[in-house]
Chain A
């Protein structure tokens, strides 16, 4: 996803950094949808479009300060920060529905299947399973959710996620594992069993 268009993007980034607005708009169009799906699962539908627009505008204004190798990681960092800002602002205004906790929760244990169900490997693409996954993602602590989405949906490497979320790589590793385990447990609690079990 990242590599194929990397060369062309690098050229566009360089042009945009020199002030070429059209080059920036093309770059923004390439990341618009990935940013939106990320923001949507971070802050919900109401604020997702605003978060992306804010992030893109902010990126344009601060493009001269971009010195990294990955524009995509850089713009995701801005958007993730915007999303977290939005969630923090909501907490200051209690009339808005509560978001999941931000603190890293305690170590999760591996839930055992209550009864034999369909094989996890067989349900990929199953609409019901996907709905459950969406629901459990929404209940994860936002930091875990961000890390897990950046890894499994957007395909970022752990190092990039560490940069995007400005934490140590060990923290990224822990968040991804806990997030995945939470989703796995939710599926198992609904009767699914592991492929080998």
Chain B
């Protein structure tokens, strides 16, 4: 009687000593069982040699990250975007246009906003955003401008700031009459220029808030992604 059913367990050294000895005795005398054993060994080796597939993504749950981190990240992103919107809106509503044509270059001279992940509104490429602000303030209605031709552009906006300023100056040159009647905006107040009464916080407050929330969202995003 061939011990076929025992051969796999024998191959895996999973038989008790008595059964193992019995199989070995049989194998010594039985060529058929030796063949079967060799076949099973070859089969087991083939199965062991199967390629090891790799998952398409990490499957390890990020249990070391607090559950509230993701919603906070989302809120910070939204808050940053909202603050940026308020910054632009309050800048536009702060008053009538002020100063001469050169004043329109002011936003380019403002501290460069650095708000990564801030709803896409203020990316790390500050220069591009500066251009947006410049064109916004270049419209006749925009009164938010630092009326200081000598203001130093922020590092990120240094190169583009000059050309933007030129463009902006051209844009604001036409409504010169209105600008003459205008009162200096809140930024001008910060520079010690004549003050105009204003409701709500300074636009700079909103910009600082946008930057703050943007940085927070960026940091949380890095934490969530892991190292």
Given the interface pairs A28-B60, A124-B49, A196-B38, the reply to whether A158 lies near B43 with Cβ below 8 Å is no
Beyond contacts A28-B59, A120-B38: 6 other A-B pairs, Cβ-Cβ < 8 A, are: A24-B63, A25-B63, A110-B36, A124-B49, A184-B40, A197-B35
| Partner-binding segment picked from A66-74, A91-99, A145-153 | A145-153
Q: How far is the CA of A105 from the CA of B15 in the complex (A)?
A: 23
Given the interface pairs A22-B64, A158-B12, the reply to whether A56 lies near B59 with Cβ below 8 Å is yes
Q: Is the CB–CB distance between B35 and A36 below 8 Å?
A: no
Q: Is the CB–CB distance between A123 and B50 below 8 Å?
A: no
Q: Is the CB–CB distance between B61 and A53 below 8 Å?
A: yes
Contact mask B43-57 → A, CB, 8 Å, 1/0?
111111111111111
B residues apposed to A, CB below 8 Å? 4-5, 7-9, 12, 14, 31, 34-36, 38-64
Q: Is the CB–CB distance between B47 and A110 below 8 Å?
A: no
Residues from chain B with a CB closer than 8 A to the CB of A60 are: 61, 63
Kindly identify, within residues 169 to 197 of chain A, every residue whose CB is under 8 Å from any CB belonging to chain B: 173-174, 176-177, 180-181, 183-184, 187-188, 194-197
> Is A33's beta carbon under 8 Å from chain B?
yes
Q: Is the CB–CB distance between A25 and B59 below 8 Å?
A: no
Given the interface pairs A29-B60, A52-B59, A184-B40, the reply to whether A133 lies near B34 with Cβ below 8 Å is no
Q: How large is the interface on A (under 10, 10 to 19, 20 to 34, 35 or more residues)?
A: 35 or more
A residues apposed to B, CB below 8 Å? 21-22, 24-25, 28-29, 32-33, 35-37, 40, 48-49, 52-53, 56-57, 60, 110, 120-121, 123-125, 129-130, 133-134, 137, 148-149, 151-153, 157-158, 173-174, 176-177, 180-181, 183-184, 187-188, 194-197
Q: Is the CB–CB distance between A152 and B47 below 8 Å?
A: yes
Q: Is the CB–CB distance between A177 and B64 below 8 Å?
A: no
B14 nearest CB neighbor, chain A only = A158
Residues from chain A with a CB closer than 8 A to the CB of B4 are: 110
Q: How far is the CA of A196 from the CA of B27 in the complex (A)?
A: 13
Residues from chain B with a CB closer than 8 A to the CB of A28 are: 59-61
Shortest Cβ distance from residue B144 to the other chain A in the assembled complex, whole angstroms: 48
Q: Is the CB–CB distance between B54 and A33 below 8 Å?
A: yes
Residues from chain B with a CB closer than 8 A to the CB of A48 are: 55
Q: Is the CB–CB distance between A36 and B55 below 8 Å?
A: yes
Q: How far is the CA of A121 from the CA of B45 in the complex (A)?
A: 9
Give me 30 A-to-B residue pairs in the complex whose CB atoms sit less than 8 angstroms apart, sorted by A's number.
A21-B63, A28-B59, A32-B59, A32-B60, A36-B59, A48-B55, A49-B56, A52-B59, A53-B59, A57-B61, A60-B63, A110-B4, A120-B38, A121-B38, A123-B42, A124-B42, A130-B46, A130-B49, A130-B51, A133-B50, A151-B12, A152-B44, A158-B9, A180-B8, A180-B44, A181-B8, A184-B39, A187-B46, A196-B35, A197-B35
